[in-house]
Chains A and B, each alone.
Chain A
Amino acid sequence: MTARTHPFQRKANLASFQERVVFWSLRAFTYIILLFGVCIFSIIIIKGAPTVFDSFRVTGSFPFISNDFLFTKPQTLHVFKYKGEIKQMAADDYYAFVGQTPAPPPAEIPTTPPAPAPDANAAPSGVAPVAPVAPAPPAIPVPILTTTGINPDDITEHETYSYAAGGIWPQIVGTVLLVIGSMTVALILGIFSAVYLSEYSKQGPFISAIRLAIVNLAGVPSIVFGLFGFGIFVLAFGWNVSLMAGWFTLAFMILPVIITASEESLRAVPQGFRQGSLALGATKWQTIWQNVLPYALPGILTSSVLGIARVAGETAPILFTAAYATSDKLPWEITITPDRLSSGALGYLEYPFLWIHDFVFHGVNALPYHIYVVSSKIPQNEYTERVQYGTAFVFLGVVMTIALASILLRTRLRNRLKW
Chain B
Amino acid sequence: MSTSPTTIMDETTPTAQSVEVVMNPASPALDKSSRFNAPTIIDIDNVDFYYGQSKALHGINFPIKEKLVTAFIGPSGCGKSTLLRCLNRMNDLVDGTRIGAGSIKISGVDIYDPSVDVIELRKRVGMVFQKSNPFPKSIYENIVYGLRLQGINQKARLDETVERSLRGAALWDEVRDRLHTSALGLSGGQQQRLCIARAIAVEPEIILMDEPCSALDPIATVKVEELIHQLKQNYTIVIVTHNMQQAGRCSDITAFFYMGRLIEIDTTEKIFTNPSQRQTEDYISGRFG
User: Interface on A for B, CB 8 Å cutoff?
Assistant: 202-203, 270, 272-283, 286, 290-291, 295, 417-419
Contact = CB atoms under 8 A, between A and B. Distances in A.
Interface in B128-186: 129, 131, 133-136, 145-146, 149-150, 182, 184
Given A270-B133, A281-B119, A275 B90 contact: yes
A419 B198 contact: no
27 contacts: A203-B95, A272-B129, A273-B133, A275-B90, A275-B93, A275-B129, A276-B134, A276-B135, A276-B198, A277-B135, A278-B90, A278-B93, A278-B122, A279-B122, A279-B199, A280-B122, A280-B126, A280-B145, A280-B146, A280-B149, A280-B198, A281-B122, A281-B149, A281-B202, A290-B149, A418-B136, A418-B184
Interface core residue of A280, A291, A418 (most chain B CB under 10 Å): A280
Contacts of B122: 278-281
B8 to A, nearest CB: 13
Contact of A281 (B123, B133, B134): B123
Contact of A295 (B93, B136, B145, B199): B136
B266 to A, nearest CB: 29
A248 B134 CA distance: 40
B212 to A, nearest CB: 13
B93 A276 contact: no
Given A279-B90, A279-B126, A282-B146, 6 more contacts: A278-B90, A278-B93, A418-B136, A418-B184, A419-B135, A419-B184
Given A275-B90, A279-B122, A282-B149, A419 B136 contact: yes
B199 A280 contact: yes
B133 A286 contact: no
The 5 closest A-B pairs by CB, nearest first: A272-B133, A419-B136, A281-B123, A280-B146, A279-B127
A137 B98 CA distance: 108
B133 A276 contact: yes
Interface of B: 88, 90, 93, 95, 119-120, 122-123, 126-127, 129, 131, 133-136, 145-146, 149-150, 182, 184, 195, 198-199, 202
Nearest to B130: A272
Given A291-B135, A418-B182, A281 B93 contact: no
Contacts of B123: 280-281
Please classify the interface of chain A as helix (H, G, I), strand (E, B), loop, or mixed, using the class held by over half of its residues: helix
Contacts of A281: 119-120, 122-123, 146, 149-150, 202
A280 B133 contact: no
Contact of A283 (B95, B119, B127, B133): B119
A277 B123 CA distance: 11
A275 B133 contact: yes
Contacts of B93: 274-275, 278
Contacts of A279: 88, 90, 122, 126-127, 129, 199
B168 to A, nearest CB: 15
B202 A272 contact: no
Contacts of B150: 281
Nearest to B92: A278
A276 B197 CA distance: 12
Nearest to A283: B119
A203 B149 CA distance: 28
A274 B126 CA distance: 14
A276 B136 contact: no
A418 B131 CA distance: 18
Contacts of B136: 295, 417-419
Nearest to A281: B123
Contacts of B198: 276, 280
B90 A273 contact: no
A202 B52 CA distance: 13
A200 to B, nearest CB: 11
Contacts of B149: 280-282, 286, 290
Contacts of A272: 129, 131, 133
B141 to A, nearest CB: 10
Nearest to A286: B149
A270 to B, nearest CB: 7
A278 B182 CA distance: 21
Nearest to A279: B127
Interface core residue of A272, A273, A276 (most chain B CB under 10 Å): A276
Nearest to A287: B149
A203 to B, nearest CB: 6
Contacts of A274: 93
A282 B122 CA distance: 9
B133 to A, nearest CB: 3
B90 A277 contact: no
B95 A202 contact: yes
Nearest to B201: A280
Contacts of B199: 279-280
Nearest to A202: B95
Contacts of A277: 135, 145
Interface core residue of A270, A282, A283 (most chain B CB under 10 Å): A282
A418 B182 CA distance: 9
A250 B149 CA distance: 38
